[in-house]
Protein backbone atom coordinates (compact mmCIF):
# COMPACT_ATOMS: atom_id res chain seq x y z
CA UNK A 1 0.00 0.00 0.00
CA UNK A 2 2.91 2.34 0.69
CA UNK A 3 4.08 2.10 -2.93
CA UNK A 4 0.66 3.45 -4.02
CA UNK A 5 0.77 6.32 -1.50
CA UNK A 6 -2.14 4.89 0.49
CA UNK A 7 -2.11 5.85 4.16
CA UNK A 8 -4.25 3.98 6.67
CA UNK A 9 -5.76 6.05 9.50
CA UNK A 10 -7.72 4.41 12.31
CA UNK A 11 -10.63 6.22 13.89
CA UNK A 12 -10.22 7.06 17.59
CA UNK A 13 -11.33 4.41 20.09
CA UNK A 14 -14.92 4.73 21.34
CA UNK A 15 -15.77 7.26 18.63
CA UNK A 16 -17.88 5.40 16.05
CA UNK A 17 -19.29 8.69 14.77
CA UNK A 18 -15.92 9.23 13.05
CA UNK A 19 -16.71 6.22 10.88
CA UNK A 20 -19.54 7.94 9.06
CA UNK A 21 -21.26 5.83 6.44
CA UNK A 22 -19.83 2.41 7.33
CA UNK A 23 -20.57 2.82 11.03
CA UNK A 24 -24.14 3.81 10.14
CA UNK A 25 -24.43 0.58 8.12
CA UNK A 26 -23.11 -1.46 11.06
CA UNK A 27 -25.55 0.27 13.43
CA UNK A 28 -28.52 -0.40 11.12
CA UNK A 29 -27.51 -4.04 10.65
CA UNK A 30 -27.13 -4.59 14.39
CA UNK A 31 -30.48 -2.97 15.18
CA UNK A 32 -32.42 -5.04 12.64
CA UNK A 33 -30.51 -8.22 13.50
CA UNK A 34 -31.31 -7.84 17.21
CA UNK A 35 -34.99 -7.21 16.47
CA UNK A 36 -35.22 -10.31 14.29
CA UNK A 37 -33.21 -12.76 16.37
CA UNK A 38 -34.37 -11.67 19.84
CA UNK A 39 -36.62 -14.73 20.23
CA UNK A 40 -34.91 -16.96 17.67
CA UNK A 41 -32.91 -19.88 18.97
CA UNK A 42 -30.20 -20.28 16.35
CA UNK A 43 -27.35 -22.75 16.32
CA UNK A 44 -23.86 -21.45 15.54
CA UNK A 45 -24.00 -22.57 11.89
CA UNK A 46 -27.45 -21.02 11.41
CA UNK A 47 -26.35 -17.69 12.88
CA UNK A 48 -23.20 -17.75 10.74
CA UNK A 49 -25.29 -18.40 7.61
CA UNK A 50 -27.65 -15.56 8.48
CA UNK A 51 -24.76 -13.15 9.15
CA UNK A 52 -23.11 -14.03 5.83
CA UNK A 53 -26.39 -13.42 4.00
CA UNK A 54 -26.80 -10.06 5.76
CA UNK A 55 -23.22 -9.18 4.84
CA UNK A 56 -24.07 -9.89 1.19
CA UNK A 57 -27.12 -7.61 1.42
CA UNK A 58 -25.05 -4.75 2.84
CA UNK A 59 -22.33 -5.28 0.24
CA UNK A 60 -24.85 -5.10 -2.62
CA UNK A 61 -26.18 -1.60 -1.82
CA UNK A 62 -25.53 1.13 -4.41
CA UNK A 63 -23.00 3.75 -3.26
CA UNK A 64 -22.23 6.04 -6.18
CA UNK A 65 -22.12 5.92 -10.00
CA UNK A 66 -19.50 3.63 -11.51
CA UNK A 67 -18.42 6.31 -13.98
CA UNK A 68 -19.26 9.85 -15.02
CA UNK A 69 -20.69 8.59 -18.33
CA UNK A 70 -24.36 9.66 -18.39
CA UNK A 71 -25.26 6.45 -20.27
CA UNK A 72 -23.79 4.24 -17.53
CA UNK A 73 -26.59 3.36 -15.10
CA UNK A 74 -24.60 0.80 -13.10
CA UNK A 75 -23.81 1.89 -9.53
CA UNK A 76 -20.63 1.08 -7.62
CA UNK A 77 -21.31 -1.26 -4.69
CA UNK A 78 -19.08 -2.57 -1.87
CA UNK A 79 -19.19 -5.89 -3.74
CA UNK A 80 -17.09 -4.36 -6.50
CA UNK A 81 -14.26 -3.83 -3.99
CA UNK A 82 -14.55 -7.42 -2.74
CA UNK A 83 -14.92 -9.47 -5.92
CA UNK A 84 -14.73 -6.93 -8.75
CA UNK A 85 -18.43 -7.31 -9.65
CA UNK A 86 -21.80 -6.65 -8.03
CA UNK A 87 -23.00 -9.41 -5.72
CA UNK A 88 -25.89 -11.40 -7.15
CA UNK A 89 -27.84 -14.43 -6.01
CA UNK A 90 -30.62 -16.67 -7.23
CA UNK A 91 -34.11 -15.58 -6.23
CA UNK A 92 -35.63 -17.59 -3.40
CA UNK A 93 -39.32 -18.25 -2.74
CA UNK A 94 -40.86 -15.84 -0.25
CA UNK A 95 -41.34 -17.22 3.27
CA UNK A 96 -42.30 -13.89 4.86
CA UNK A 97 -45.94 -14.77 5.50
CA UNK A 98 -45.45 -18.45 6.34
CA UNK A 99 -45.69 -19.28 10.07
CA UNK A 100 -42.22 -20.19 11.35
CA UNK A 101 -43.44 -23.49 12.86
CA UNK A 102 -44.21 -24.72 9.32
CA UNK A 103 -40.70 -24.07 8.00
CA UNK A 104 -37.58 -26.20 7.90
CA UNK A 105 -34.50 -24.70 9.56
CA UNK A 106 -33.12 -23.53 6.19
CA UNK A 107 -36.46 -21.94 5.31
CA UNK A 108 -36.55 -20.26 8.72
CA UNK A 109 -33.09 -18.72 8.15
CA UNK A 110 -34.25 -17.61 4.70
CA UNK A 111 -37.35 -16.06 6.30
CA UNK A 112 -35.14 -14.10 8.73
CA UNK A 113 -32.98 -12.92 5.82
CA UNK A 114 -36.06 -11.77 3.91
CA UNK A 115 -37.34 -9.87 6.96
CA UNK A 116 -33.92 -8.22 7.34
CA UNK A 117 -33.83 -7.29 3.65
CA UNK A 118 -37.30 -5.73 3.78
CA UNK A 119 -36.65 -3.67 6.93
CA UNK A 120 -33.12 -2.61 6.06
CA UNK A 121 -33.83 -1.69 2.42
CA UNK A 122 -36.79 0.50 3.36
CA UNK A 123 -34.65 2.29 5.94
CA UNK A 124 -31.84 2.68 3.41
CA UNK A 125 -34.21 4.20 0.84
CA UNK A 126 -35.59 6.62 3.43
CA UNK A 127 -32.01 7.58 4.36
CA UNK A 128 -31.22 8.24 0.70
CA UNK A 129 -34.38 10.31 0.28
CA UNK A 130 -34.18 12.45 3.41
CA UNK A 131 -33.71 16.13 2.88
CA UNK A 132 -31.25 17.60 5.34
CA UNK A 133 -33.29 20.81 5.43
CA UNK A 134 -32.28 21.78 8.94
CA UNK A 135 -28.80 20.22 8.90
CA UNK A 136 -27.29 21.74 5.76
CA UNK A 137 -28.03 24.89 3.82
CA UNK A 138 -29.11 23.02 0.69
CA UNK A 139 -28.40 19.81 -1.17
CA UNK A 140 -26.61 20.38 -4.46
CA UNK A 141 -28.34 18.61 -7.32
CA UNK A 142 -26.47 18.56 -10.61
CA UNK A 143 -26.40 16.85 -13.98
CA UNK A 144 -24.84 13.39 -13.92
CA UNK A 145 -25.87 12.42 -10.37
CA UNK A 146 -27.31 8.93 -9.93
CA UNK A 147 -30.70 8.77 -8.19
CA UNK A 148 -33.59 6.44 -7.40
CA UNK A 149 -37.00 7.58 -8.68
CA UNK A 150 -39.73 7.33 -6.06
CA UNK A 151 -42.84 5.79 -7.63
CA UNK A 152 -46.22 5.42 -5.93
CA UNK A 153 -47.48 2.44 -7.90
CA UNK A 154 -44.49 0.13 -7.34
CA UNK A 155 -42.76 -1.08 -4.15
CA UNK A 156 -39.66 0.87 -3.03
CA UNK A 157 -37.38 -2.09 -3.72
CA UNK A 158 -38.32 -1.80 -7.40
CA UNK A 159 -37.82 1.97 -7.81
CA UNK A 160 -35.84 2.63 -11.00
CA UNK A 161 -32.25 3.84 -10.95
CA UNK A 162 -31.38 6.75 -13.23
CA UNK A 163 -29.11 9.72 -13.92
CA UNK A 164 -30.02 13.38 -13.84
CA UNK A 165 -29.81 14.73 -17.40
CA UNK A 166 -31.08 18.24 -16.84
CA UNK A 167 -32.05 20.48 -13.91
CA UNK A 168 -34.80 23.10 -14.05
CA UNK A 169 -34.34 26.07 -11.68
CA UNK A 170 -37.35 28.19 -10.80
CA UNK A 171 -37.63 31.98 -10.99
CA UNK A 172 -35.73 32.18 -7.69
CA UNK A 173 -32.84 30.08 -9.15
CA UNK A 174 -33.59 27.20 -6.77
CA UNK A 175 -33.66 23.79 -8.44
CA UNK A 176 -36.87 21.93 -7.67
CA UNK A 177 -37.32 19.80 -10.82
CA UNK A 178 -34.95 17.50 -12.72
CA UNK A 179 -35.08 15.40 -15.87
CA UNK A 180 -33.87 11.86 -15.15
CA UNK A 181 -32.92 9.15 -17.66
CA UNK A 182 -33.47 5.51 -16.71
CA UNK A 183 -33.12 2.35 -18.75
CA UNK A 184 -36.89 2.57 -19.45
CA UNK A 185 -37.05 6.20 -20.58
CA UNK A 186 -36.68 9.83 -19.54
CA UNK A 187 -38.82 11.39 -16.79
CA UNK A 188 -39.27 14.88 -15.38
CA UNK A 189 -39.60 14.71 -11.58
CA UNK A 190 -39.73 16.97 -8.55
CA UNK A 191 -36.68 16.69 -6.28
CA UNK A 192 -38.98 15.38 -3.54
CA UNK A 193 -39.48 12.30 -5.75
CA UNK A 194 -35.73 11.60 -6.09
CA UNK A 195 -33.43 9.70 -3.71
CA UNK A 196 -29.73 10.53 -4.00
CA UNK A 197 -27.24 7.71 -3.44
CA UNK A 198 -25.15 8.06 -0.22
CA UNK A 199 -21.96 9.33 -1.84
CA UNK A 200 -23.99 11.71 -4.00
CA UNK A 201 -25.39 13.54 -0.94
**12 within a domain of the structure (yes/no):** no
**136 within a domain of the structure (yes/no):** no
Rg (CA), the chain: 20
pTM: 0.62
- Mean pLDDT, the chain, whole residue set: 81
Q: What is the domain range of residue 149?
A: 19-131+141-196
In angstroms, the CA 93 to CA 180 distance is 33
Q: Which residue has the higher pLDDT, 49 or 155?
A: 49
**29 within a domain of the structure (yes/no):** yes
| Number of domains observed in the structure of the chain | 1
**191 within a domain of the structure (yes/no):** yes
User: What CATH number corresponds to the domain at position 146?
Assistant: 2.30.30.30
Q: Which residue has the higher pLDDT, 105 or 135?
A: 105
* pLDDT tens digits along 56-86: 888 888 887 887 777 777 888 888 888 888 7
Any idea how long the chain is?
A: 201
Amino acid sequence: MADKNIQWHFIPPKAPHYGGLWEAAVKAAKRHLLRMTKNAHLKYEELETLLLQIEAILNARPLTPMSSDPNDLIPLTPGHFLIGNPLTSYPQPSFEKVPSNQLSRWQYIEQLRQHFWKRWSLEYLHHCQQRNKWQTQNVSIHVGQMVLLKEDNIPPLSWPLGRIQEVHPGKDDIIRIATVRTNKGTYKRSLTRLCLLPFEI
